[in-house]
């Protein structure tokens, strides 16, 4: 008796729903993700149990590395350009149009005003390397305000909604943090946020 051959049927799977789900997931991640800024120096923030998120708009970030160098960062390039123009006028520094345009490529500013021209002459991918061992001076000028204080004053005067946030490395000497806070206090800037990394409470 011969075998009965079963006719094979081709299997067809509709992939349309899967492609729809993939597009929705991709859109979700694109809209909810945040980009990490390429900061001038790498900072490992200390851990804390606070779950309060730092404001991400109109923020002047005061970055302090583990060597005590101070850098400033803005969330809007336009604010940085406005502040730089005002600081250049105060210090009598002449900047070209190309240098003013180049400041938009900087993620942070961490040099003295005497060196700002050389800093802005760097290519965008060389800026962080140029300034990482410099930092904004925190020593007072002729018994008055320091460059750091002048930067903060210039920024906050230009934008009254600007908030301050201090992001320091966990190995930054305490005396450096204390000095930064004291300089802010001298300017009546008593409200600022401390950026830390979230650490769960151990049971």
Q: What is the pTM of this model?
A: 0.74
Give residue 18's pLDDT.
84
Per-residue pLDDT tens digits of the chain, which is 203 residues long: 566 666 676 777 777 888 888 888 888 878 776 655 666 667 767 676 666 676 677 888 898 988 889 999 887 777 788 888 899 999 998 988 888 888 888 888 889 999 999 999 988 888 888 888 898 998 887 778 899 999 999 988 888 888 898 888 888 888 888 999 999 999 888 888 888 776 655 54
The Cα 95–Cα 109 span in angstroms is 15
Give residue 203's pLDDT.
43
Give residue 33's pLDDT.
64
The Cα 127–Cα 124 span in angstroms is 5
Quick one: residue 135, left, alpha or beta (phi over 0 = left, psi -120 to 50 = alpha)?
Answer: left
Give residue 151's pLDDT.
93
């Amino acid at each position: 008796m011969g075998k009965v051959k079963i006719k094979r049927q081709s299997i067809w799977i509709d992939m349309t729903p899967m492609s729809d789900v993939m597009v929705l997931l991709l859109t979700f991640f694109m809209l909810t993700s945040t980009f990490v800024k390429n900061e001038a120096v790498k900072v490992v923030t200390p851990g804390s149990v606070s779950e309060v998120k730092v404001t991400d708009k109109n923020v002047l970030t005061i970055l302090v590395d583990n060597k005590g160098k101070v850098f400033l960062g803005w969330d809007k390039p336009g604010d940085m350009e406005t502040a730089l123009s005002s600081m250049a006028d105060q210090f009598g520094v002449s900047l070209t149009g190309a240098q003013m345009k180049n400041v938009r490529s900087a993620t942070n500013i961490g040099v003295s005003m005497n060196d700002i021209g050389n800093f802005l002459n760097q290519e965008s991918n060389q800026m962080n390397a140029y300034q990482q061992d410099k930092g904004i001076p925190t020593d007072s000028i002729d018994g008055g305000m320091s460059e750091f204080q002048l930067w903060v004053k210039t920024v906050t005067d230009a934008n009254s909604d600007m908030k301050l946030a201090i992001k320091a490395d966990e190995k930054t000497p305490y005396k450096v943090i204390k000095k930064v806070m004291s300089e802010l206090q001298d300017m009546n800037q008593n409200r600022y946020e401390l950026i830390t990394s979230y650490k769960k409470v151990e049971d």
